[in-house]
Amino acid sequence: MTEIIQAAQTYLLPTYARPNFVLERGEGVYLYDTTGRRYLDFVAGIAVNALGYGDAEVIETLVAQAQKLLHVSNLYHTEPSIALAKRLISLSPAFARVFFTNSGAEAVEAAIKLARKYAREQYGEGKTTFVAFENSFHGRTMGALALTAREKYRSPFMPLMPNVRFAAFNDANSLETAMGDDVCALIIEPVQGEGGLQVASNEFLNCCRTLCDKHQALLLADEIQCGLGRTGTLWAYEQTQIQPDLLTTAKPLAGGLPLGALLTTQAVANVIHPGDHGTTFGGGPLVTAVAEVVLRRISTPTFLAHIQAMSRYFEEALQRLALSKPAQIKELRGKGLMRGFQINGSAAIIREKAQDLGLLVATAGEDVIRLLPPLIIQPEQIDEALEKFQEIL
Ligand SMILES: *Cc1c(COP(=O)(O)O)cnc(C)c1O
């Protein structure tokens, strides 16, 4: 194990500060390291491993598709991506068309390009500004980064894409000031992920829609982290009155394989023609065959009902924890199976202590613990995690 970690420190670009164990295999909601130590996983690959580890149907589909065809490029038709697009659209009545990508950031990039082209064709030059929110996270590529608020992520890489304004989240006045007729799109995470698990209120989302309509701007819901069942409905926006014009999804879409997608309305899709945008790998047969299984499973009423039940259980357990630790826990945050709490002190230290007790958790900023269990989580496992927090706090 130490040899592997030393090699990582020698050869990998140090973009992550990883703990001193090496993960080797997973089963259900548990991971095992190379020494055989077990971890209860409340990170799930950062909201990726919705069906946990070792799902039989996922593996079977992966093997069967690998034997048939891995890749032919988007120059040709293949069945899995078309079947997946059809299922995504039939489950998402607000949208008409899909563009597949390899990651979340690439789905955001596609949305940026489409918003620019749509605005140019509909309204002429000059309508090129994007509005995003404080504490937002939309990815690490230059366009997506320009829409990401955190200074630490942005400043070393300036200059970024120009014409981006930031508004305060859940603050209608601030948004009204930021919006204008030069805006081509407003991008919002209905539940902020990396930025600290803030939930957009229904009134605020209504305000986003109204201001977009007033200024003829597209509304883009970034559901890369909060979508695909995580808050109890397929898309988080479904629990509100709004309909976005664009939606980005990625993390859990292919059950651990890299896949993202941009969903658009027909009106927006109409400005796109062959050659306008593309990708070599995006939506290849292997990843989309697996995603078909993941999407079919997550979107069943029984599975969504399970998420809703676990979400209530999780919320109540967290409320009990917060009541018993008033000095340590400042505020409960999040929604569905995307929850956490703000603590008095350093979230990184709590995360390390949890690791020592065999529980993997994520952070969001300096002082928020972020909990993203696989969606197949059971009450006993929520209890197990919360007992460990009792001990740590
Ligand atoms: C993770 C994330 C992204 C970026 O996705 P990548 O696959 O890491 O490029 C964008 N938006 C949100 C809300 C995310 O959580």
What gap in Å lies between CA 289 and CA 57, rounded to an integer?
A: 11
- Same domain (yes/no): 13, 100: no
What gap in Å lies between CA 98 and CA 13, rounded to an integer?
A: 34
Instruction: Report which ligand 1 atom has the smallest distance to the Cα of 194.
Output: 15
Spatial contact of 22 and 1, defined as CB atoms under 8 Å apart? yes
Q: Which residue has the tokens 């548990």?
A: 30
Domain boundary among the residues 298, 317, 343 is at 298
Instruction: Report which ligand 1 atom has the smallest distance to the Cα of 139.
Output: 4
Specify the pLDDT at position 1.
75
Q: Which of 224, 237, 287, 335 gets mutated to test ligand 1 (max ligand atoms within 8 A of its CB)?
A: 224
Residue 102: closest CA among 119, 81, 122? 81
Strands 164-167 and 338-343 come out as: unpaired
- Same domain (yes/no): 181, 253: yes
- Same domain (yes/no): 101, 194: yes
- Same domain (yes/no): 184, 215: yes
What gap in Å lies between CA 309 and CA 312, rounded to an integer?
A: 5
Q: Which of 137, 192, 231, 257 gets mutated to test ligand 1 (max ligand atoms within 8 A of its CB)?
A: 137
State the distance from the centre of ligand 1 to the C-alpha of 337, rounded, in angstroms. 17
Specify the residue with its C-alpha closest to ligand 1, atom 15. Answer: 225
State the distance from the centre of ligand 1 to the C-alpha of 391, rounded, in angstroms. 32
Q: Is the pLDDT assigned to residue 393 strictly greater than 80? A: yes
Please state the rounded mean pLDDT for residues 329-356. 97
Global confidence as pTM: 0.98
Domain boundary among the residues 269, 298, 327 is at 298
Spatial contact of 133 and 164, defined as CB atoms under 8 Å apart? no
- Same domain (yes/no): 29, 88: no
pLDDT digits (tens, 9 = 90+) for 95-146: 999 999 999 999 999 999 999 999 999 999 999 999 999 999 999 999 999 9
pLDDT digits (tens, 9 = 90+) for 39-60: 999 999 999 999 999 999 999 9
Domain boundary among the residues 298, 318, 350 is at 298
- Same domain (yes/no): 265, 388: no
State the distance from the centre of ligand 1 to the C-alpha of 138, rounded, in angstroms. 5
pLDDT digits (tens, 9 = 90+) for 23-36: 999 999 999 999 99
DSSP string, 182-250: TEEEEEE-SB-TTTT-PBPPHHHHHHHHHHHHHTT-EEEEE-TTTTTTTTSSSSGGGGSS---SEEEE-
Structural domain boundaries enclosing 384: 2-55+301-392
State the distance from the centre of ligand 1 to the C-alpha of 252, rounded, in angstroms. 11
Domain with 148 in it: what CATH number? 3.40.640.10
- Same domain (yes/no): 69, 159: yes
Domain count, the chain: 2
- SS3 label, residue 240: coil
Please state the rounded mean pLDDT for residues 152-170. 97
- Same domain (yes/no): 30, 135: no
- Same domain (yes/no): 238, 284: yes
What gap in Å lies between CA 113 and CA 276, rounded to an integer?
A: 9
- Same domain (yes/no): 259, 221: yes
What gap in Å lies between CA 73 and CA 81, rounded to an integer?
A: 11
pLDDT digits (tens, 9 = 90+) for 294-323: 999 999 999 999 999 999 999 999 999 999
Residue 360 bridge partners (DSSP): 41
- Same domain (yes/no): 156, 283: yes
Spatial contact of 334 and 13, defined as CB atoms under 8 Å apart? no
CA dihedral (73, 98, 205, 116) in degrees, to 10, reads: 70
- Ligand 1: lining residues by beta carbon, under 6 Å: 103-105, 108, 137-139, 189, 193, 222, 224-225, 250-251
Residue 49: closest CA among 365, 362, 369? 362
Sheet of 129-133: strand order equals 97-101, 260-264, 246-249, 218-222, 183-188, 129-133, 164-167
- Same domain (yes/no): 174, 199: yes
Instruction: Report which ligand 1 atom has the smallest distance to the Cα of 225.
Output: 15
Please state the rounded mean pLDDT for residues 355-364. 98
Domain with 384 in it: what CATH number? 3.90.1150.10
